[in-house]
Every structure is written in C-alpha cells, then in structure tokens.
Amino acid sequence: MARRGDTIELAVLGLLHEGPMHGYELRKRLNLMLGWGRVLSYGSLYPALKKMLRANLITEVSTATTPTSRRPRIVYEVTPAGTEQFQRLMSEVGPTAWEDDNFDIRFAFFSSTDMEIRLRVLEGRRSRLQERLARVQAELARTQAEVDRYAGELQRHGVESVEREVRWLSDLIRAERGDEDPATAPATKPVGSD
C-alpha cells in the first residue's frame, strides 16, 4: 500500500507538471482530485511541500505583494529532478499503481503515461477488484442469513459499486486497445440471411 506522503508527492508533481501554483491552489486542486472521502489539510500539504523542496523536486518563487496582503505569495514550480521523479512514478506498474490509495491520482495523470503502462495499470486494477468482488460475494453468501436488512443493503451496495467499477475498467481497457465496444458495435447480418 502506498504511503500517504508518496500519494501527495505524486499528485503535487503532477499538478505542478501542468504549471506553477501557490499552496492554496494546490490544496484546492488536490482535494478535488482526492475526492470527498479524503480531504487534505494544510497540516499534511505543507510538510510534504517542504520535504519536496529539500529533495529538490520543486522550488519556491516569491511573487510581489498584493494590496490586500503584505506577505509575498509563494508559488511552487516543478524542477527538472521533479519532472524526472514524476515520470518515474507514472511509469511504475506494480501493485501500488492500482491500489485504492494511488489509483485515482495516477488515473488523473494518465495523459502523461504511455499506453502500455496505462493498460497494465487498468488491468491490474480490474484484476484486484475482481479478486475483492469474489471474496465479498463468497462472504455475502455465507453471512446473508446472519445480517440485518441494513447491513445486507450496505453489502449489496458495496458489491454493486465494485461491479460497476469493473465494467468501467473493462470499457477503458477496450478503448485503450482500440477494440470495439460490443454494446455500440453495428449489428451484422448472419451469413446467408438475404
């Protein structure tokens, strides 16, 4: 499982790869990227930024003061070493690439990733979810009679969510490979049906 700091580092490098940003903008964009379930505080962001500064992955640039503030605004930019680190992280295809903590962040920056790497990550994620789904369905079948109505509904909701994500991943994999989606493929006549 990826450490939270590694996930933040990947996300910050990816965002700064798009262009320089100040801390407030970084936090706002990171929270949008991470989703409502994982809010990033300044108490997590600024230590990560300081660590990245020490590792020379990013730099600070002070901008002029504004009429509303006497303090200069600090803007962060990715360094060449940070660009290299981002590319290295995005080219990794091991289990941390498709685990829950890291997949969404990597997916957000898929446009910066080679197609073969995208496919391996998507296939790894789908495989991991299919394993999880099989375990949950087996457990659900064993415990169905033991749980109350609401616990059963929660389990059913979890199964449906994972099934939906597996279908989504399968669609993405087909699109990456250039395969036609059977749902949108034109109907063909059987041979000799004229």
Residue range 89-105, pLDDT digits in tens: 999 888 888 888 788 88
Residues 49 and 122 reside in one and the same domain: no
Work out the pLDDT band at 37, boundaries 50, 70, 90: low
- Do residues 26 and 88 share a domain? yes
Residue 183 has pLDDT above 60, yes or no: no
In this structure, the answer to whether residues 31 and 119 fall within a common structural domain is no
What is the average per-residue pLDDT within 81-91? 94
Q: Answer yes or no: are the C-beta atoms of 147 and 93 closer than 8 Å.
A: no
The yes-or-no verdict on residue 172 having pLDDT over 90 is yes
- Residue 75 φ/ψ, nearest 5 degrees: -110, 135
Count of domains forming the chain: 2
> What pLDDT was estimated at residue 69?
67
Range of the domain at 122: 115-184
User: Rounded to whole angstroms, how far apart are CA atoms 102 and 97?
Assistant: 6
Single residue among 107, 127, 161 that ends a domain in this structure: 107
Per residue in 111-156, pLDDT (tens digit) is 888 999 999 999 999 999 999 899 888 887 777 777 777 887 888 8
What CATH number is associated with residue 37?
1.10.10.10
189 lies in a domain? no
Q: CB 130: neighbour CB atoms within 10 A?
A: 15
Please, are residues 99 and 2 in contact by the beta-carbon 8 Å criterion? yes
Torsion of CA 88, 91, 94, 97, to 10 degrees: 90
Residues 35 and 52 in one domain: yes
State the number of CA atoms in the 13 A half-sphere of 127 facing the CB.
10
Model confidence, pTM: 0.76
Burial 94-124 (b: 16+ CB within 10 A, else e): eebbbbeebbebbbbbbeebeeebbbbbbbb
Residue 128: inside a domain:
yes
190 belongs to a structural domain: no
Q: Are 17 and 78 in contact (CB under 8 A)?
A: yes
Q: Which of 12-21, 26-35, 72-81, 120-129 has the lowest mean pLDDT?
A: 26-35
Residue in the structure block whose two tokens are 């940070």: 82
What pLDDT score does 66 carry? 65
Assigned domain for 1 exists: no
Residues 170, 83 share a domain: no
Mean pLDDT value of segment 4-29: 89
Residue 82 clears pLDDT 90, i.e. is over it = yes
CA–CA distance from 87 to each of 7, 39, 94, 116, 151 (Å)? 14, 25, 15, 14, 43
Q: Are 23 and 74 in contact (CB under 8 A)?
A: yes
Question: What is the arithmetic mean of pLDDT over 183-189?
Answer: 46
For residues 99 and 12, membership in a common domain is answered with: yes
